[in-house]
């Protein structure tokens, strides 16, 4: 996959400038960590003593999506009458992000032990959702989607399936990063889905991104004004698929005793913000073993378009295709006033992707926001919402307390 030389230079210079001997920890890596890096979501959950089921939903446009369910907990094994919660991952990730950390820290485990029937979605094109009724991932037609299609087709299909299986009228929805973006798409474009959600918790919510501080995303954004140019640059289909490069990073480059582990940390920080205190060095091989999990190039292009326009709009195909697709030369904005679900926004000061100013703008646009909560740690960053050492005490406990009010 071709990558812009300027972007490579940015990453390289940044990493070299931050190499320090304090980042090297000379102790043997636990073999269990390497095992967790290689296990898929299903087997990872089963390894830690939790039940897990695999389910599949098919979208109206033919994509086959895999979902993972923890029907009950290890500490709370009651099976009947459990409230249902649906978790949706962020960009370049998968259902694994909710269970990568230990059962004492992973949000899906905590929810299962708190009495919830936990369902985890996987967006089209990631590690677990690469099927289609007629297309293969080798076809460019397969990858002609952005996060708009995930919100318009994938999330409704998985929610409908979850409600069908569990036979509950409504569920609670928790999402991280892009998982919140696709929720705004669904509930604004298909308002009837507001009636299927009891409450929505948005972790690092993303709609408006005009104040985004990520150097890597900002470097890509100006190129998205020419769709053909950026797709030529990043590749027309899949962006950062999880393959040999992840395997190498997980098994060699990101181990605690490795001198190159600092490169893994700084690459993550370059995108999302810095917080060395909350990043568990030991877990880096696990995180890099599962992330990135695959996404389409158009998902990145779409976010770049939002940064350039400072609006929350549909995908910009260029004025000719826009006129044919939307009836207008410019892509229409999403109607956030159509959202009726009770919304809880959870944000952080050090988040380079979901900045406080952009969260405030979302707060004023979505009229059903019930509460906006700042994580009480100044250095808390974007990835900390799912991977922080202290996410339970800083964030998850509060969310579960709020959720209990909807039971």
Tokens 């990520």 -> residue: 214
In this predicted structure, what is the pLDDT of residue 280? 77
Q: Bigger pLDDT: 11 or 395? A: 395
**What does the block give as tokens for 403?**
């959720």
Q: What is the DSSP string of 158-192?
A: HHHHHHHHH--S-EEEEEETHHHHHHHHHHHHSGG
Q: Bigger pLDDT: 9 or 351? A: 351
Torsion from C-alpha of 33, 399, 113, 387, nearest 10 degrees:
0
- Of 331, 353, 339, give the one whose Cα is nearest residue 206: 353
Q: How confident is the model at residue 26 (pLDDT cuts 50, 70, 90)?
A: very low
On average, the pLDDT of the chain sits at 85
Percent of the chain surpassing pLDDT 70? 79
Give pLDDT tens digits for 318-343: 999 999 999 999 999 999 999 999 99
Backbone dihedral angles phi then psi of residue 345, each to the nearest 5 degrees: -100, 130
Spatial distance between the Cα atoms of 54 and 68, rounded to a whole number of angstroms: 5
Please state whether the peptide bond connecting residue 247 to the residue before it is cis, i.e. omega within 30 degrees of 0: no
Is residue 188's pLDDT more than 50? Answer: yes
Residues tagged active-site = 177, 382
For the chain, list the domains and their CATH numbers.
5-404 (3.40.50.1820)
Is residue 75's pLDDT more than 80? Answer: yes
Backbone dihedral angles phi then psi of residue 202, each to the nearest 5 degrees: -105, 110
Instruction: Classify each residue of 335-360 as buried b or exposed e, where b means 16 or more C-beta atoms within 10 Å of its C-beta.
Output: ebeebebbbbbbbbebbbbbbeebbe
Q: How confident is the model at residue 6 (pLDDT cuts 50, 70, 90)?
A: very low
In this predicted structure, what is the pLDDT of residue 238? 86
In this predicted structure, what is the pLDDT of residue 235? 65
**Rounded mean pLDDT of 206-210?**
96
Is residue 273's pLDDT more than 90? Answer: no
Q: What is the DSSP string of 346-403?
A: EE-TT-SSS-HHHHHHHHHH-TTEEEEEE-S-TT--TTHHHH-TTHIIIIIHHHHHHH
- Of 229, 143, 198, 221, give the one whose Cα is nearest residue 340: 198
Is residue 254's pLDDT more than 90? Answer: no
State how beta strands 238-239 and 295-296 pair: antiparallel
Is residue 34's pLDDT more than 90? Answer: no
């Amino acid at each position: 996959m071709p990558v812009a030389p300027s972007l490579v230079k940015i990453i390289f210079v940044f990493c070299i400038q931050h190499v320090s001997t304090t980042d090297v920890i000379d102790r043997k890596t636990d073999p269990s960590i390497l095992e967790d890096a290689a296990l898929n979501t299903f087997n990872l959950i089963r390894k830690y003593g939790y039940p897990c089921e695999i389910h599949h939903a098919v979208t109206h446009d033919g994509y086959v999506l895999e979902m993972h369910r923890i029907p009950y907990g290890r500490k709370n094994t009651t099976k009947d009458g459990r409230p249902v919660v649906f978790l949706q991952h962020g960009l370049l990730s998968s259902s694994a992000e909710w269970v990568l950390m230990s059962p004492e820290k992973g949000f899906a485990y905590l929810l299962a032990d708190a009495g919830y029937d936990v369902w985890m979605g996987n967006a089209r094109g990631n590690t677990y959702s690469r099927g289609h009724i007629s297309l293969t991932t080798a076809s460019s037609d397969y990858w002609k989607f952005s996060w708009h299609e995930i919100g318009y087709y994938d999330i409704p299909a998985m929610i409908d399936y979850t409600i069908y299986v569990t036979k509950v009228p409504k569920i609670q929805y928790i999402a991280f990063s892009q998982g919140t973006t696709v929720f705004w798409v669904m509930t604004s474009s298909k308002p009837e889905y507001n009636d299927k959600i009891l409450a929505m918790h948005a972790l690092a919510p993303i709609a408006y991104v005009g104040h985004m501080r990520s150097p890597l995303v900002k470097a890509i954004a100006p190129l998205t004004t020419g769709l053909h140019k950026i797709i030529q640059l990043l590749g027309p289909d899949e962006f950062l698929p999880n393959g040999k490069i992840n395997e190498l990073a997980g098994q060699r480059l990101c181990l605690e005793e490795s001198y190159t582990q600092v490169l893994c940390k700084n690459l993550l920080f370059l995108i999302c913000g810095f917080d060395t205190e909350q990043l568990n060095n030991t877990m880096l091989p696990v995180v890099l073993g599962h992330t990135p999990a695959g996404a389409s190039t158009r998902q990145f292009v779409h976010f770049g378009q939002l940064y350039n326009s400072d609006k929350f709009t549909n995908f910009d195909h260029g004025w000719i295709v826009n006129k044919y697709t939307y009836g207008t030369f410019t892509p229409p904005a999403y109607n956030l006033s159509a959202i009726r679900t009770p919304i809880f926004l959870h944000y952080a000061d050090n988040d380079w992707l979901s900045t406080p100013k952009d969260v405030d703008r979302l707060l004023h646009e979505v009229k059903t926001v019930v509460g906006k909560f700042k994580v009480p740690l100044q250095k808390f960053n974007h990835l900390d919402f799912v991977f922080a050492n202290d996410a339970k005490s800083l964030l998850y406990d509060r969310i579960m307390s709020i959720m209990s009010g909807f039971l």
